[in-house]
Amino acid sequence: MEPDHHSTVFLDIERAGRKRTSPIIELAAIAVVSGSYQEIDRLETRVQFSAKDSEVRFLGLSKFRPSVWEQYAIPEEDAIKKLAHFLRKHATEEFTSKNGKAYRLAKIAGHNVEFDAGTLRAWFRRHGEFFPAKRSVLDTRQLSEWFFSMNHQTIDPPADHRLETLAEIFSLKARPTHTALSDALAAVELARTIAHYTRVGIRASEAA
């Protein structure tokens, strides 16, 4: 069945350490209508991990609470299956295989999402699973850099393009708190806000 809209899935993960191979302890995915950024669906999952593979500083940043993880965290294999199902459910980018078979992949986005996407691909690969998303990603950090570069004559650029900084500048309602869901929600609102400012600017230039 043909989808009645094109979707984008915003992703964010939290890890138990600095390395790309550090355990993923939490992930969030928010499916939105491409362009309007209206939320369609969301997924939030806490993942079981071994404490010996973690760094205390990173656990503090991700708002880790042992009692919460004991109650709600699920095995890596189950978390991968849930995310794969979510991505396939909201896959609207159409492709054709070498043998002529049509298939769809999800379009993913997020803040510094290139790193998260690479980490997730490696995670899926270690478990023998296919990551059902396009390799090209939409990064809200790059989006913000383009926005301020194109408007540097009228808007002062930020000191940095961290999600927390941009949330403050744009007065986002969703504030990133280093949890997967809060960061994903902030990235969605950031994209929606920049898209709004861009559309307003285009309309103003057309009316001039």
Report the number of distinct structural domains present in the chain.
Answer: 1
Give domain status of residue 87, yes or no. yes
Predicted local distance difference test score (pLDDT) of residue 181: 97
Instruction: State pLDDT tens for residues 27-59.
Output: 999 999 999 999 999 999 999 998 777 787 777
Q: Using 50, 70 and 90 to split pLDDT, how confident is the model at 161?
A: very high
Mean pLDDT score, 100-123: 95
**153 inside domain:** yes
Cα within 13 Å of Cα(111), Cβ side: 26
Predicted TM-score (pTM) of the model is 0.90
Select from 119, 89, 92, 104 the least CA-distant residue to 27: 119
- For the domain that residue 63 is a member of, what is the CATH number? 3.30.420.10
Q: Which amino acid, residue 164?
A: E
Domain-embedded: residue 52 = yes
- Using CA atoms, how far residue 143 sits from 48, 111, 148, 149, 182, in Å, is 33, 9, 9, 10, 19
Q: What is the pLDDT of residues 72-89, one digit of tens each?
A: 999 999 999 999 999 999
pLDDT interval class at 201 (50, 70, 90): low
- Expressed as residue numbers, the domain containing 56 is 7-207
Q: Which amino acid is at 122?
A: A
Q: Output the pLDDT for position 208.
A: 43
Radius of gyration (Cα) for the chain, nearest Å? 18
Per-residue model confidence (pLDDT) at position 203:
52
Give domain status of residue 2, yes or no.
no
In terms of Cβ atoms closer than 10 Å to its own Cβ (0-12, 13-18, 19+), residue 173 is exposed
Positive or negative, the CA dihedral 187, 191, 194, 197 is negative
Among 59, 42, 57, which Cα is nearest to 182's? 42
The mean pLDDT value for 15-30 works out to 89
Whether 1 maps to a domain, the answer reads no
User: For residue 21, is it within any domain?
Assistant: yes
